[in-house]
A and B are shown apart, each in its own frame.
Chain A
Amino acid sequence: MSHKVVVPIGPYHPLQEEPEYFRLYVEGEKVVDIDIVIGYMHRGIEELSEHKHFDQIPFLVERICGICSTSHPFAYVNAVEDLIKITIPERALYIRTIIAEMERIHSHLLWLGLAGHFIGYNTVWMWSWRYREPVLDMFEMITGNRNHYAMMKVGGVRRDIKDEDVPILKKTLDDLVPAVDMFKGAVMDDPVIKARLKGIGILTKQQAIDWAVVGPTARASGINIDVRKDDPYGAYDKVSWNVIVEEDGDIFAKTKVRILEMYESIRIIRECLDKMPKGPIDFDVKDIPPGEGIGRVEAPRGECFHYVKSDGTNRPIRHKIRAPSYMNVASNKIAAVGGTISDATITLAAVDPCYCCTERLTVLDKHSNKNIMNGWDLIRLSQEKTEKLRNSIK
């Protein structure tokens, strides 16, 4: 007997940080159909932007999304610069690239944490958000704010990266590498995470093409697309880096793509900091001629597209925005249908080694008060334990 039950998730659900509404149609444990209702976040930004001055719009589009708060202004300034056909100072290109890549690192760490949270593995959440903080500190150092950096402006950037800041930035990046290494180890070798993510939510290459997904979602399904390579902007054609492509299309592959992309981002930022030429950081744009322009940017989630049309006044007459998630969300319909509704409480997670505790615990020698075990020792211990666990599962 088939009996369809509707399981509503949202709009306000403990699992979600933003309001969306998913209607899952289930038969037993199996999801047979899914409806996605969005629109809880609509604020009419395109229309608002048609009432603002060209120079005010970067501040507005930055507030489309708090996580991609560089990608949207970046795409917008690319569009306007395409419209006026100017070349901007080289230093500004490098600074834009650095900011965009820093954003990618913080966004991927954030995603990784939330992914951990969603499978009931809060340890991953705590750890990855902990290592996200130094990235936010770098932002604060360069731009003065932890999020919403307000760096982009038509013709260049608003703030320079000071020479004395460069060594500190490099040091922070150096410190980040072992953390990402640890993640790579912790996530990719963890049997529980593997069990939860491998072979789940598969999007095959053909499906990915049919549903026109972009960004890491597409790259995890074996499609080699990346605006940074395909249509270089900023300083991406001046530095060397690789596009990460995985073939499996499951959630594990998506996680892997994101983790490996963080290494590439670190590499790009390092190279940009080294190669960055001296000079002005912006080009004084006097007025915007009539015409139209497009700007594309590879946001952390995929291609972000802006179209601007001007009639020669100080406001655009049309500003069209397409964000990457718009394409990616729909593919949930393929990826989720056929799977099971997994319980929030995961029995498997109960046996997991806890990384989170390590940070709060120090082992002291009672007599000399010396620290005899630091955080890294405890991580090593818990990794050994995981190894034992893995062997026992096999």
Chain B
Amino acid sequence: MDLKLKALTKSLWVFHAACSPCNNCDIEILDLLTPRYDVERFGIALVGSVRHADVLLVTGVPNYKTKEILKTLYSQAPQPCLVVAVGNCACGRMMFKDSYNSPCAVDELVPVSAYIPGCPPKPEAMIAGVVKLIQKVRGKK
């Protein structure tokens, strides 16, 4: 494992982009930071700007307004930037795929590295997802 990879996966800083979700996935993401789950002890911290982030967490079904913003956000992130789609909405648009304001899914806009399904996924599921992502990036099974 080279140094860059080691540094990247040691403590993931995440930026959370809400692309018209119902809010619940976002709340569960915040819930991860609060005392019961407290992912900061694993070095995972939420940052205020995508320019500081290693991981972009995307929730919701992008609409016409957020679609362009998501692309911009991804282009502003330092590479390599891992994208995690949190929730059924981000994974596959769920019941919103027929909506007039849902032009495309998240993975048609940005390359997604991990999908965490659930509506909303339980915080445990999110932790498990991130652990799997780290293992994948490090090239382990």
Query: Which residues of A does B touch, CB under 8 Å?
Result: 11-14, 17-19, 39-45, 47-48, 51, 59-60, 63-67, 69, 110, 113, 125-127, 129-130, 133, 146-148, 356, 359
Partner of A17, one of B18, B49, B100: B18
**Chain A proximity of B100: nearest CB distance (Å):** 5
A51 CA / B97 CA spacing, docked (Å)? 12
Nearest CB to that of A106 among chain B residues? B27
Residue of A48, A67, A126 near B24 (CB, 8 A) is A67
Tell me if B6 counts as interface (CB < 8 A to partner A): no
| Chain A min CB distance to B126 (Å) | 12
Contacts of A42 in B (CB 8 A): 20, 63, 65, 101
In the complex, whether B91 has a CB less than 8 A from a CB of chain A is no
| Given A17-B26, A19-B19, A40-B65; 6 other pairs, CB 8 A cutoff | A42-B20, A42-B65, A63-B22, A65-B23, A66-B21, A147-B28
Can you report 15 A-B residue pairs in the complex whose CB atoms are below 8 A from each other? Answer: A11-B69, A12-B69, A17-B23, A19-B69, A41-B20, A42-B101, A63-B22, A66-B24, A66-B26, A129-B31, A129-B34, A133-B34, A146-B28, A146-B120, A147-B120
Smallest beta-carbon distance B13→chain A, Å: 13
The smallest C-beta distance from B4 to any residue of chain A, in angstroms, reads: 26
Asked if B44 is an interface residue, CB under 8 A from chain A, the answer is: no
Instruction: Tell whether, in the assembled complex, residue B73 and residue A51 are in contact, meaning their CB atoms are under 8 Å apart.
Output: no
Distance (Å) between the CB of A20 and the closest chain B CB? 10
Write out the residue numbers on chain B whose beta carbons fall within 8 Å of the beta carbon of A60.
Answer: 95
B48 at the interface (CB under 8 A from A): yes
Determine whether the beta carbon of B34 is less than 8 Å from that of A48. Answer: no
Instruction: Tell me the minimal C-beta distance from B55 to chain A in angstroms.
Output: 15
B113 CB-CB contact with A under 8 Å: no
CA distance A228 to B35 in the complex (A): 34
Contacts A42-B63, A133-B36 given: A67-B23 contact, CB under 8 Å? yes
| Residue in contact with B95 in the complex, picked from A13, A48, A113, CB distance below 8 Å | A48
Determine if A18 and B100 form an interchain contact, defined as CB atoms under 8 angstroms apart.
no
Is B30 in contact with chain A by the CB < 8 A criterion?
yes
The answer, yes or no, to whether B39 is at the interface (CB within 8 Å) is no
Query: Using Cβ atoms and an 8 Å threshold, which residues of chain A touch B120?
Result: 66, 146-148
Q: Given A42-B65, A43-B63, verify A65-B102 contact (CB < 8 Å).
A: no
A44 to B103 alpha-carbon distance, docked (Å): 12
Give Cα distance in the complex from A352 to B112, angstroms.
42
A39 lies within 8 A of B65 (CB):
yes
Are the CB atoms of A44 and B102 closer together than 8 Å? yes
Cβ contacts under 8 Å, B66 to chain A:
11, 19, 40
Cβ contacts under 8 Å, A11 to chain B? 66, 69
User: Which B residue sits closest to A63, measured CB to CB?
Assistant: B22
Known contacts: A19-B69, A126-B35, A148-B119. The answer to whether A110 contacts B20 by CB under 8 A is no
In contact, A47 and B23 (Cβ under 8 angstroms): no
Task: Tell me, in angstroms, the Cα distance from A41 to B19 when the chains sit together.
Answer: 7
B24 touching A148 by the CB < 8 A rule? yes
In contact, A126 and B27 (Cβ under 8 angstroms): no
Give the complex CA separation of A65 and B34 in angstroms: 21
In the assembled complex, the Cα of A65 lies from the Cα of B27 at a distance in Å of 11
Q: How far is the CB of A200 from chain B (nearest CB, A)?
A: 23
Cβ–Cβ contact B96 & A66, under 8 A: no
- Measured between beta carbons, the chain A residues less than 8 angstroms from B34 are 113, 125-126, 129-130, 133
Contacting residues, chain A, for B61 (C-beta < 8 A): 43
Q: Is A19's CB under 8 angstroms from B28's CB? A: no
Chain A residues lying within 8 Å of B22, measured Cβ to Cβ, are 63-66, 69
Given A63-B22, A125-B34, A147-B28: A14 and B99 within 8 A (CB)?
no
A63 CB contacts on chain B under 8 angstroms? 22, 24, 95, 119
Top 6 nearest A-B pairs (CB, nearest first) are A66-B24, A14-B48, A66-B23, A129-B34, A44-B99, A130-B35
